[in-house]
Amino acid sequence: MTRPYVPWLLLALALAAFYLFPLYWMYVTSLKSASEIYFNPPTFWPIAPDTSIYPQVWFGRTMSTFLWNSVVIATGVTTITVILGTGCAYVLARYRSVWVDVGLFLILMLQVLPASVMITPLFVGFNQVGLLNYPRTAVVLAAAAKAMPFFVVLVRATFMSVPRELEEAALVDGNSRVGAFFSIVLPLARNGILVCAILTFMSAFGEFIYSKSIIQEKSLQPASVGLSGFLGPNSSDWNSIMAYSAIYVTPILALFVLLQRRIVSGLTSGALK
Amino acid sequence: MSRIFNSMRDGVGFDLILVGAALLFLLALAGLPLVYNVLMSFQQVDMFTLGTLIRPWAGFTNYVDVVRQPEFWLVAKNTLIFVFASMAGQFVIGFSLALFFAQKFPGAATIRGLFLVSWVMPGLVVGAIWSWILAGDFGVLNTILKSLGIIQETVFWKSDPNYSIWAVVIANIWLGTAFNMLLLAVGLAAIPRDLYEAAELDGANAFQRFWTITLPMMRSTIGAVLSLGLIGTLQQFDLFPAITEGGPANTSSVAGYWSWQMSFQLYDFAKGATISVMMFLLVLFASVIYVRSTRHEVRG
């Protein structure tokens, strides 16, 4: 039984276009002039598309510094999460016992803690141990603890799909546990780990609440805090806000579209196994 | 000594190191702060005692003070509205989209994947975009709704106390719908096709098939998605500073944002900790449901 699929496809595209309208609106607004954004009714396509706002925002808002800090923080978070989380996920995937269940339960519980619950004790605690003098490190540590449970849950699902027999064969052939882990298990799970690492990087790249609360010095703040500096209920220069947002998210969106298929399959295998 | 080293290289020691390092890290940066939070909620914390661990004991004073705050019930009501309206919106729209994309047509998976961009975007940027879409006089949402005849007057989404919480809800529904859809789509794909074929042969119509096959087969998925939605909504923070900053007059503030304001704008860390302990109890409730609904899969 074959169905005519063209109407379905058209409807699907229409739904996607409707859903992604906010993104379109961000780009279109950033191309409008300062007076055109206040046209009523608004224009759905800029009268004279103008990209001069982009360099203006880039330099005026010192975006290179902000974005660099975002990259530093996201890299730190991803590194810690991948190094500590991968081993933990491997062990939790390899055994089945009461202790593994307890460990998984604890990790699931940590996954659900809102950042807004954690930030008050983290800030006061960091203040007492002197970590606030290294604000970016403090944010990296806090955000890595936030990202790790999700990473472990997803990567554990990847390790579950690596056949146990391969690792056992390597052990029989005289490999040590360490050797089998690094030369057999890790390479087989590489793709899944990579996808989860990219997801971790993306979410750390947009991290806001910890950075906003911990990093006071402007030259160390990430792009999210930079954006919040001129965003609020009474904002008015919407074309520069939208240009800033566009510069900020376009790399993430490009990465996502490139890796879409893998990201979606990585998520679906782990999130709801 | 060499036995310990050998075990680390080739035995249980290896597993213990791998899992121990991660758990120690999580214990230090998530477990300890949680306990510390509870401790602080029973102490007097001010600028002078911020740097010490031993502070004057306050008993339940902080809790009483928080409940007596004039905005307490408003924030509690907002939190409930925000949580349940967001969850309902995300779930209904996400489920409809998942059912739609479960129809087999070329390109379905790719187009469905595009929806997930909302999920990878920084929350603050999503908030910025929606803040502009929802603007009163120049916002595009008002223009569209007016031209469709749904509203006659301009709605000041962000500054009208009746609507401000809904402004954040709308943005949050947009943010979470895609993830709901993806998880529900996984559940849908796991239902065996022949069930539907058998039902069709027996003459069940589309609604009956949905009611007697899809819903019962999806029960554990729906449970997990709803509790993940509850958890995700309670975690939402970035939209508030971007859209309304909790205003006007706290009419769009929720527990998480209120707690942050207490600690980082009013520097009342004890009250901030107290509110977050209350919120943690709510999250605990949600996660018990979550763990129960995924329990048999976790053992998988």
- Measure CA B183 to chain center: 15
Quick one: pLDDT at residue B299? 40
Q: A226: nearest CA in chain B?
A: B124
Cα of A88 to nearest chain B Cα, Å: 4
Please report which confidence band the pLDDT of residue B282 belongs to, taking 50, 70 and 90 as the band edges.
Answer: confident
Residue A167 scores a pLDDT above 50: yes
N-term to C-term CA, chain B: 38
Q: Is A24 on the interface with B (CB under 8 A)?
A: no
Quick one: pLDDT at residue B295? 59
The residues pairing with B43 across neighbouring beta strands, listed in sequence order, are B57
Q: Which residues of A touch B110 (CB under 8 A)?
A: 260-261
* Choice among A132-141, B120-129, B154-163 with the minimum mean pLDDT: B154-163
Q: Which CATH number applies to A70-271?
A: 1.10.3720.10
Quick one: pLDDT at residue A1? 45
Q: What is the 3-state secondary structure (H, E, C) of A203-236?
A: HHHCCCHHHHHHCCCHHHCCHHHHHHCCCCCCCC
Interchain CB distance below 8 Å, B143 and A23: no
CB pairs below 8 Å between A and B: how many? 316
**Of B125, B158, B264, Cβ closest to residue A233:** B158
Please report which confidence band the pLDDT of residue A225 belongs to, taking 50, 70 and 90 as the band edges.
Answer: very high
Q: Tokens in use for B213?
A: 């096959």
Ordered by start, the domain boundaries in chain B are 70-299
Q: Is A94 on the interface with B (CB under 8 A)?
A: yes
CA B230, CA A153: separation in Å to the nearest integer? 18
Q: Which residues of A touch B241 (CB under 8 A)?
A: 208, 212, 228, 231-232
Q: A239: nearest CA in chain B?
A: B132
Q: Tokens in use for B186?
A: 């996984």
For an interface test with A, the pick among B7, B10, B19, B236 (most A C-beta atoms closer than 10 Å) comes out as B19
Please report which confidence band the pLDDT of residue A272 belongs to, taking 50, 70 and 90 as the band edges.
Answer: very low
Interchain CB distance below 8 Å, B25 and A80: yes
Residues 106-165 on A with a CB inside 8 Å of B are 106-125, 127-128, 141-142, 144-146, 148-149, 152, 160
CA B11, CA B33: separation in Å to the nearest integer? 33
Cα of A114 to nearest chain B Cα, Å: 4
Radius of gyration of chain A (CA): 23
Ordered by start, the domain boundaries in chain A are 70-271
* Choice among A181-185, A232-236, B80-84, B265-269 with the minimum mean pLDDT: A232-236
Distances from the Cα of A8 to the Cα of A260, B102, B113, B177, angstroms:
22, 11, 16, 20
Please report which confidence band the pLDDT of residue A3 belongs to, taking 50, 70 and 90 as the band edges.
Answer: low
Mean pLDDT of A173-190: 87
pLDDT, greater one: A2 or A228: A228
Give A56-105 pLDDT, tens digit per residue: 989 988 899 999 999 999 999 999 999 999 999 999 888 888 888 888 88
Mean pLDDT of A223-246: 86
Q: Which residues of B touch A238 (CB under 8 A)?
A: 132, 135
* pLDDT above 70 coverage of chain A, percent: 96
Quick one: pLDDT at residue A270? 56
DSSP of B181-242 = HHHHHHHHHTS-HHHHHHHHHTT--HHHHIIIIIHHHTHHHHHHHHHHHHHHHHH--THHHH
Cβ B159 vs Cβ B271: under 8 Å: no
Interchain CB distance below 8 Å, B297 and A264: no
Residue B22 scores a pLDDT above 80: yes
Interchain CB distance below 8 Å, B182 and A9: no
Distances from the Cα of A14 to the Cα of A260, B93, B100, B111, B140, angstroms:
20, 15, 13, 10, 19
Q: A269: nearest CA in chain B?
A: B186
Q: Which residues of A touch B257 (CB under 8 A)?
A: 116
* pLDDT above 90 coverage of chain B, percent: 26
Cα of B143 to nearest chain A Cα, Å: 6
Residues 31-70 on A with a CB inside 8 Å of B are 37-42
Q: A141: nearest CA in chain B?
A: B29
Quick one: pLDDT at residue B127? 93
Burial (CB < 10 A; 0-12, 13-18, 19+), residue A209, is buried
Let me know how many helices (H) and strands (E) chain B has, helices first.
17, 0
CA B292, CA B149: separation in Å to the nearest integer? 45
Residue B94 scores a pLDDT above 80: yes
Q: Is A4 on the interface with B (CB under 8 A)?
A: no
Cα of A170 to nearest chain B Cα, Å: 12
Quick one: pLDDT at residue B298? 42
Interchain CB distance below 8 Å, B34 and A91: no
CA B54, CA B70: separation in Å to the nearest integer? 30
**Of B17, B108, B121, Cβ closest to residue A249:** B121
CA A233, CA B250: separation in Å to the nearest integer? 13
Give B127-162 pLDDT, tens digit per residue: 999 999 998 888 888 888 888 888 888 888 888 888
CA B95, CA B98: separation in Å to the nearest integer? 5
Please report which confidence band the pLDDT of residue A122 belongs to, taking 50, 70 and 90 as the band edges.
Answer: very high
For an interface test with A, the pick among B7, B29, B266 (most A C-beta atoms closer than 10 Å) comes out as B29
Neighbours of A174 (CB within 10 A): 8
- Measure CA B224 to chain center: 13
Q: Tokens in use for B89?
A: 């919106």
- From the list B196, B186, B98, B100, the residue with the least C-alpha distance to A8 is B100
Angle at B173 between CA B171 and CA B179, to 5 degrees: 120
Please report which confidence band the pLDDT of residue B240 belongs to, taking 50, 70 and 90 as the band edges.
Answer: very high
* Choice among A65-69, A198-202, B97-101, B202-206 with the minimum mean pLDDT: B202-206
Please report which confidence band the pLDDT of residue A184 belongs to, taking 50, 70 and 90 as the band edges.
Answer: confident
For an interface test with B, the pick among A95, A112, A152 (most B C-beta atoms closer than 10 Å) comes out as A112
pLDDT, greater one: A101 or B86: B86
**Amino acid present at B93:** I
Mean pLDDT of A216-233: 87
Q: Is A228 on the interface with B (CB under 8 A)?
A: yes
Neighbours of A206 (CB within 10 A): 23
Q: Is A198 on the interface with B (CB under 8 A)?
A: no
Residue B227 scores a pLDDT above 50: yes
Q: Does domain B70-299 have CATH number 3.30.450.30?
A: no
> What sign results for the dihedral spanned by CA atoms B135, B141, B144, B146?
negative
Cβ A205 vs Cβ B122: under 8 Å: yes
Residue with tokens 């302990």: B277
**Amino acid present at B233:** T
SS3 state of residue B43:
strand
**Of B174, B182, B221, Cβ closest to residue A22:** B174
DSSP state of B57: B
Residue B164 scores a pLDDT above 50: yes
Mean pLDDT of A22-29: 93
pLDDT, greater one: B189 or B98: B98
Residue A273 scores a pLDDT above 90: no
As a whole number, the mean pLDDT across chain B is: 86
Cβ A53 vs Cβ B151: under 8 Å: no
Residue A183 scores a pLDDT above 90: no
Q: Which residues contact B84 (CB under 8 A, 6 or more apart)?
A: none
Helix axes B12-26, A98-111, angle to 10 degrees: 30
